[in-house]
Homo-oligomer: A and B are copies of this chain.
Amino acid sequence: MNYCSHCGASVERAVPDGDNRERYICRECGLIHYQNPKIVAGILPWRGDQILLCKRAIEPRRGLWTLPAGFMELGETTREAALRETWEEATAQVKHPELYLVFNIPHIDQVYMIFRGELENTDFAPGEESLETRLFSEADIPWRELAFSSIKASLTQYFTDRRDNHFPVHMEDLKR
């Protein structure tokens, strides 16, 4: 950040009065530009003993497998964001998605919120951001070709919880 998005003057880094962190502050109009972590919302879509994964068509991690997930947009709930991403990436629909996993990833300023939901049907197909969409059994999960640590952690937790058929909400910190 170099310029004030409100008035166009240059910004400086300084601690505002009454604050204890450096922020970008406009040298002209004084506006403080706060920056905050982003939410990535997604779904772990299951059908029988299988999980739907998407092969990424875009960077980062093009060609690797992921759960359908992406940045939450303004005006959405986390559940709406998760359902939208699942539709956009896999043209898939799930029943009754329930919050399941929350991952704090502070070194990239992201919080993942992953829901668990049963696929409505097998009418899924790659959206624009996917090369391929496919159901995987536990034995077939491409563990070495997963796109992100959050995806590996999601699948590991799911297969553990499935043994007890008990899926409480988990929160985990994924630090570097």
Chain B residues with CB under 8 Å of A71's CB are 34, 36
Give how many A residues have a beta carbon under 8 Å from the other chain's beta carbons.
43
Given A36-B74, A169-B169, 9 new contacts (CB under 8 A):
A3-B5, A4-B5, A5-B5, A36-B73, A39-B39, A72-B111, A75-B109, A78-B102, A79-B173
Asked if A2 is at the interface of the complex by the 8 Å CB criterion, the answer is yes
Chain B residues with CB under 8 Å of A113's CB are 102
How far is B79's CA from A157's CA once the two chains are assembled, in angstroms? Answer: 20
Q: Is the CB of A3 within 8 A of B4?
A: yes
Q: Is the CB of A77 within 8 A of B99?
A: no
Chain B residues with CB under 8 Å of A38's CB are 36
Q: Is the CB of A6 within 8 A of B3?
A: yes
